[in-house]
Structure 1
Amino acid sequence: MSATTAPGAGLGTAWSTTVDDAPVGLSARGGHLAVAGAAGIAWILDAATGDGAEALRLPGGLLSVALSPDAGHLAATGPTGYALWRRADGRITAPDTGTWSATAAWADSGRVAVASGRRALVLAADGREVWTTEPAASTVTDLAWMRDGRRLAVAAYGAVRAHERHTPAPVATYPYIGSHLALAVAPTGRWICSGNQDASIHIWRTRDGGELTMSGYPQKVARLAFDDTGRWLAADGAPDVTVWDFSGKGPAGTAPRSLQAHETVTALAWRPGSAGQLASGGDDGTVALWHASAGHPGARLRPARTLRGEAAVAALAWAGPGLLIAAHRDGRVRAHRLPSRTGL
């Protein structure tokens, strides 16, 4: 990491630093920040100051990083496999799988699910395999925990499958013929949503398998995110970010709010809490902040605030409600200090 940390630099900037790589992902937990570099280096930084150092290297590059809930462990995934890092002593566990690993997700129990080729592996924090799913029809593209870590949703071509703990075969299957690029599960567990290569969002109601497709996006939908309440779903797939209302019976028959700021959306991150505030990043380097639940269905909204950067935004993450981290593709990582929960 090339450290140019500058606490307090710039209006609303808590710190800024530069890493020697093009960032592809961020994860913020427990006062720490993980930065994934495309070439395969993961850094661990102090979220409050930006100070930190290299944690691990994964040959073949990185696709994502995920910190455990207590920030004591890091899972990193990439085209050639995955690695686990332990903060207490720097121990690295990196099996030589040679298998595409798209992403990883931690459960509150301290176990981590890792996409590994056509399977999802569930590992203890020390890297020991606890159980694995049976092979899907194709490579696992995304996964998410449900029911407080008691059930795992796994997306691969043709379906999202739900697995109970220690159950290789799925206990529920949610079919949709197409390539799933992103998976979002409502915190309430009521809805499962996939963003798809065919420029659609497909939705399943978990209690009865009821389905809904939102189609007509001009581009593939590769980013989905629910807010903490499970009411609002943000999606890319167009120059505008769309925000769907999942209250009541869900979004069937309704229009989304449209957030206009970017030519191409490259990142989405909801502010922690229930205020309906969203950050989005674009390929022009801008970070836009939104009161995303304002207005009425079909409303076109403008940003409450726009933060400028020199290079495209690669990833966004909130380190608590008052600190927004933005990673740019030129290696710059900035922490923006923001007003109280109700203000932007």
Structure 2
Amino acid sequence: MGCGSSKDGTADSPKKTASKRKSNAKAEQVEVDVGDSKTNSNRNSPERQRATPSPTKSSPRKEQQSPDYDASYAGTQSSALESPYDKHGDVNGRAGKSKYGDKDESSFQEANDKGYKRRVREKLKTSTGGGDIEDLEKMIALFERSRLEDCGDLTRAKERLRYLKLKRDLRDSMRRRHVGVLNRTIADVQASPYAYQLHNQLEKAEKLRDHLKELNTYNHDILQMEQTTISELRSYQRPPTSVHDVMAATYMLLGHDEDRLTEWADIQCQMGRLGKDSLVRQVETFDTNDVDDQTAGRVKEILGYHDLDQVRAASNGAASFHVWSSQMVEKIDKDQQTEEDRRRQEEEKQSVASSKGRKKKG
């Protein structure tokens, strides 16, 4: 049967022939669509994944991988998994040009590093010239963490830090007023290269240490006193006058007003206190520097009314407080005399220096 012929052998017209061609084209398109749908339905099968490579352009999201996913094939998909952003490009992958001209990223970072290191070094120098220990410690740590070259800056900063710490330790130990702490701090300063620079503070610390050691020597008998001895003194209902006067003088040295010690009941009340307000504790923390001249003179007068043997005959406990109070008054007098002598020597030195200055001018 020839082309363009009908079933009965008669020839088709040109119009009919064109219609048949259109029908055949539609049928072929339907077959193609059916084939594509079948292909899409089998696309996620393990066989399809192994046979068909991933497209070059894919979604930034990673597709879920089936259990049969071949890991050895993953290398062929690296281009699809990369970020769409170029190192110097935009989102579409177009190459970008750096605004810094011919300078590359490494040279720009190096310039930044140089500026940062310079600022760290300058801040360390500023902290070294100050007196803030915490700030200096922080800058030294930052300098070392940045691995900067010393050039003498770090060495000077550490020396300054040691000096400031020694000065602080001297001040704190004097505030604590503890002989053991003072001894350790004084030894540290004397062994350091800053003993001359801290000469004035060191001299004051040594003076305070010697003062406290002397007080501790006088306090020894009272601090070793049994509580039963104080209880025995307190148990008096009508004590001898010597006992009453000695205990009143003792409490006057400790800072109590004489007008509130005229009655024995008031003294009994004071001796009954415990803890930091107890009599022994007040003696332990006592400092002759806290006693004014008027109080010291009055205590000396009261103690002079009674001989030590007379007081001991009445009460051994009262005799211990008589000895302690007398020693405190003597120390106050001695310290006062020493201070007067020191002032006189200072005035004489100033006077000599002034006279020498006038002679040179003349």
| Greater helix content | 2
The bucket for the TM-score relative to the shorter chain is: under 0.3
TM-score by length of 2: 0.19
TM score, norm. by length of structure 1:
0.20
Which structure's relative contact order is higher, taking Cα pairs within 8 Å and 6+ residues apart?
1
